[in-house]
Amino acid sequence: MDKQTLEDIARRLLADGKGLLAIDESTPTCGKRFEDYGIDNTEDNRRDYRALLLSAPGLGESVSGAILYDETLRMKTADGTPFPTMMNDNGVIPGIKVDTGAKDLAGHPSEKVTEGLDGLRDRLAEYHAMGARFAKWRAVITIGDGIPSAACYAANAHALARYAALCQEAGIVPIVEPEVLLDGDHDIDRCHDVTEKTLTRLFAELREQQVHLPGLILKASMVLPGKQAARQADVREVAQATLRCLYASVPASVPGVAFLSGGQSNESATAHLDAMNRIDGGAGPWTLTFSYARALQQPALDAWRGDAANVESAQNALLHRARCNSAAARGQYDPAQERQVA
C-alpha cells in the first residue's frame, strides 16, 4: 500500500469547494429513474445521459470526481473516447461502485447486508488499470422497531472495512458509505444515536483491518428526523446534530466527509451542507462536502427527458446544482443563487 498516493488522491477529491457526483445507479435503478420521464432504459440512452453529465463544460471546477457503475466505466463517447479519458480531460477523477448490492441479512427480517467481497481484489486491479482511482461501497442501515440489530451493525462494518483494505492495497481510495436510511417516523435524536453507533463500529473495524484512515473518505448520511416523523428539524438543528455525531465517532485523521443526499430535496441538501460549513467557520478537522446522486442529477434529468435537443439545458441544470453545492462546501451558499440558472 502506497500511503502517499492514497492521501494525494483523497486530497484531490476533497479539494477546496469541490465534491463528488454519484452516477453509479445500477442498470435497474437507472431504469427506475428513466421510467418517470418515459425514457427507455437502453444502453444508448444510459450512455448519452451519463456522457452529457460527465462532459458538462467546466464540471471539474466544482466536481472533483464521479462515481460510475461498471457499465459506464467501460463506455466510450460517440467519437470513440473512453469515458475515463473524457472525464480526466474535464477535470473529473473516475471512481467506481464495487459493491454488488444490499441483500437480506439472514435471520434478521427488514435488515440488509451489502455483498461484493468475493473476487473484489481482481475487480479492483482491473478497475485501476481502466483509470479508476477511487471506489464506493454502500451499506444500508434501517431504523425501525427493535432495529438496527447488533448483527446488522457488525456485519456491515466488517464488510466495509474489508472492502476498504482491498481498495487501499490496489491503490484505490475507498469511499466508505454506511447510509442510515431516512425512512421511518423516528426523531432526530434516534437518528443521531443510530448514526453514532454505526460510525463507531465502522471505525473500530477499519482500524482492525489496518485501513489507513488518511487515505479514505467517509460518505455519511446527515442526522435527520425520519421522513414520516411528526416534527421535522430546521437547517441549523440538522447541521448541529450531524456535526455532534461526527465529533463523537469520526477520527480526526479522516481527511473528509462527503455526504449523500438520501432523498432530501435538492435545496435542503445544499442548505444543510452550507450550515455545517458555517459552524465555527468550518474549523472542524474534516473537509465537509457533497457526494450527491439525486440532489445533483434530478434537475438535469428533468431538463433532458431523453431528447438530444435538451443536452445543453440539462448540462446547465447540473452545473447550477454543482455550483450551489460547491458554494455550500465553502460555507458560502446564498439561496439567492437558486435564481441564477443559466
Q: Residues 175 to 204: which contact ligand 13P by CB under 6 A?
A: 177
We find the least distance from the C-beta atom of residue 136 to ligand 13P, in angstroms, to be 7
Cβ-based neighbours of 237, under 8 Å, separated by 6 or more: 188
Q: Residues 42 to 101: which contact ligand 13P by CB under 6 A?
A: none
Residue nearer to ligand 13P on the CB measure, 264 or 287: 264
Active-site residue among 177, 179, 196, 205? 177
177 is an active site residue: yes
Residue nearer to ligand 13P on the CB measure, 6 or 220: 220
Phi, psi for residue 7 in degrees, rounded to 5: -65, -40
The pattern of x and - marking residues 232 through 271 that bind ligand 13P according to CB under 6 A reads ----------------------------xxx---------
Count Cβ neighbours within 10 Å for each residue of 147-177 and write b for 16 or more, e otherwise.
bbeeebbebbbbbbbbbbbbbbebbbbbbbb
Residue nearer to ligand 13P on the CB measure, 138 or 323: 138
Cβ atoms of 164 and 211 within 8 Å: the answer is yes
- Per CB under 6 A, the list member of 50, 123, 138, 272 interacting with ligand 13P is 138
- Per CB under 6 A, the list member of 127, 292, 304, 333 interacting with ligand 13P is 292
Q: How many residues bind ligand 13P (CB under 6 A)?
A: 10
126 is an active site residue: no
Cα within 13 Å of Cα(279), Cβ side: 20
The pattern of x and - marking residues 9 through 48 that bind ligand 13P according to CB under 6 A reads -------------x--------------------------
Site stretch for ligand 13P (CB under 6 A), options 31-39, 183-191, 206-214, 287-295: 287-295
- Per CB under 6 A, the list member of 158, 201, 212, 294 interacting with ligand 13P is 294
Active-site residue among 18, 112, 136, 219? 219
Which one, of 61, 78, 76, 79, lies nearest residue 21 by Cα?
61
- Per CB under 6 A, the list member of 222, 293, 318, 322 interacting with ligand 13P is 293
Tell me the three cell numbers of residue 239.
Answer: 447541521
Site stretch for ligand 13P (CB under 6 A), options 43-51, 86-94, 187-195, 292-300: 292-300
Residue nearer to ligand 13P on the CB measure, 261 or 315: 261
Binding site for ligand 13P (CB under 6 A): 22, 138, 177, 260-262, 292-295
Which positions are catalytic? Answer: 177, 219
